[in-house]
Amino acid sequence: MNARPATLLVIFGATGDLAQRMLLPSLLGLERDGLLPDRLAILGAARTELTRHEFRSQAHELLVQQLDDDREDWTEAMDRLLSRIDYLPVDLSSEASLDTFTADVDQRRGDGDVLFHLSTAPSWYPAICSGLARAGLNGENARVMMEKPIGHDLLSSMEINDCIGQSFAEQQIYRVDHYLGKEGVQNLLALRFSNALFEPLWNSQHIEQVQITVAETVGLEDRAGYYDEYGAMRDMVQNHVLQLLCLTAMEPPARFDPTAVRNEKLKVLRSLRPIDGRESESCSASGQYSAGAIDGEAVPGYLDELGRDSDTETFVALRAHIDNWRWSGVPFYLRTGKRLPKRLTEIYIRFRPVPHSIFQHDRSSIKPNALIIRLQPEEHISLCLMNKKPGLDRDGVQLSQVALDLDRHNAFDGVRRRMAYERLYLDAIDGNGTLFVRRDEVEAAWQWVDTIFEGWKANDVTPRKYPAGTWGPSSAVVLSERHGHSWRE
């Protein structure tokens, strides 16, 4: 009975947006399917003075709003989840308040495991971690999960990592990049490393270019304060986009375990050619949306949403190179932005053209093969192949490109799509760090990104305007066209 130790999950920032939109719903999903450990208790913590009852009713209301179907089905799970939840207010700016809080946590956890999830502004991480250490809550059975961004450049991220490192060992730290918890992102690894088909072609000899797009239609939402300080490069490129790049480009790890996988990702990050000096102008483009329309609806510009002037970029496009044997000479075009025409996360791998065409009459219509891995909004894989158009071909063979399509929704019909945090929570509870980001990865990513910022500063590069609902400024188009390539749209 009860072979698993009791676990206490403490969520700092429990009244915040992330907790309410993602964390609690993920826990509910796990609860419904009986995947939460029997003896798991959840403690929400935030500055707001709330009683357990008030927090539970708030959580209940929010969860109900998010359940669009099968409401009946969820009632029991909801009751079970809420009965696990307690709440304690804590003022992180006061050592005394933190100490009172940690003393309470210490009592609750007994000799069980404890997982702290820091879902606050990262500037609180050092204070929280040292408070936990003061109370002796950093022993072997304690783990700490923390949200990005860790710092806003290499130096500040090192400072935060150093502070946290004084309280917790690296293997106790689970840095979240929620993209790694996404089904489609994990399938990228499955696709690459469980099919013998791709590996022989997965290199510069056969691949001409790779494009990674993470496009969003949303604007500032309610995050003006945070977003304006970070911008698209720090908010998306430094983490999600570079993680997708790593998974696309890394060497096959020997095993699917935390050390092997993260070692290979790190090698990719460390092989990224710095975009510095003059390169920062020819290999990067930044933009900021002005008023425009998305799906026929007028949307305001960034500065109007923000209510003041700002040079923060809401769009970034980059032409990156990985300087190693596998990828020598292959451009990786990366782009991400807010208020783009559609929500889309996609990896486009374009193969080299055939070396010679035997079809003299239709030579120009031979298009290079492409593999398109769409991760969002739907999970879809297309392999684009040339085919003969049906017909008698009296004037020569007519060709056309068609796609072999794999719609993962249909292929796995009836399987509920999990939220990223469902997987991440279970892994953190089990102590599996494979889908979390190691300190050296975070720092290598910052180092690369910092160089681009330095180049922008030295060359007075400021974001160019692009109307909301378009694919970024014209400088992004030039970035690829200069090399005879074009973005997939």
Smaller CB separation from ligand BG6, 235 or 305:
235
- As measured in angstroms, the least distance from the Cβ of 179 to ligand BG6 is 7
3 state DSSP class of 163? helix
Across 377-412, the runs of DSSP E, i.e. the strands, are 380-388, 399-407
CB nearer to ligand BG6: pick between 8 and 160:
160
Question: Residue 472 and residue 9: Cα distance in Å, rounded?
Answer: 41
Residue closer to ligand BG6 (CB basis): 89 or 219: 219
Minimum distance between the CB of residue 388 and ligand BG6, rounded to whole angstroms?
A: 39
Q: Give min distance, CB of 365 to ligand BG6, in A.
A: 36
Going by the DSSP 8-state scheme, the letter that residue 238 receives in this structure is I
Question: What tokens were used for 194?
Answer: 């469980």
Q: State the DSSP string of 85-119.
A: EEEEE--TT-HHHHHHHHHHHHHHHTTSEEEEEE-
The CB-of-178 to ligand BG6 minimum distance in angstroms stands at 6
Three-state DSSP at 274 gives: coil
- Rounded Cα distance between 279 and 300, Å, is 32
Q: Based on CB atoms, which residue is closest to ligand BG6, 8 or 241?
A: 241
Q: How far apart are the C-alpha atoms of 122 and 173, rounded to whole Å?
A: 14
Strand locations in 273-343 (E): 284-290, 292-294, 297-299, 315-321, 331-337
Nearer to ligand BG6, 77 or 372 (CB): 372
> Shortest gap between Cβ of 462 and ligand BG6 (angstroms)?
21
320, 469 contact by CB (below 8 A): no
DSSP 3-state assignment of 440? Answer: helix
Please provide residue 473's backbone torsions phi and psi, each rounded to the nearest 5 degrees: -70, 165
**Residue 361 known to be catalytic:** no
Q: Report residue 238 as tokens.
A: 């430094």
Residues that bind ligand BG6 (CB under 6 A): 216, 235, 376
Which one of 117, 178, 240, 380 is the catalytic residue?
240
Taking the complex as a whole, how short is the minimal distance between the CB of residue 239 and ligand BG6, in angstroms?
Answer: 7
Polymer length of the chain: 489
At closest approach, how far in Å is the CB of 235 from ligand BG6? Answer: 5
Is 140 or 222 the residue whose CB approaches ligand BG6 more closely? 222
Which residue in the shown chain puts its C-beta closest to ligand BG6?
235
Please, which residue, 193 or 230, has the CB nearer to ligand BG6? Answer: 230
Q: What b/e sequence results for 75-94 when a residue is b if at least 16 CB atoms lie within 10 Å of its CB, and e otherwise?
A: eebbeebbeebbbbbbebee
CA torsion angle 350 351 357 358 (round to 10): -110
> What positions carry a catalytic annotation?
240
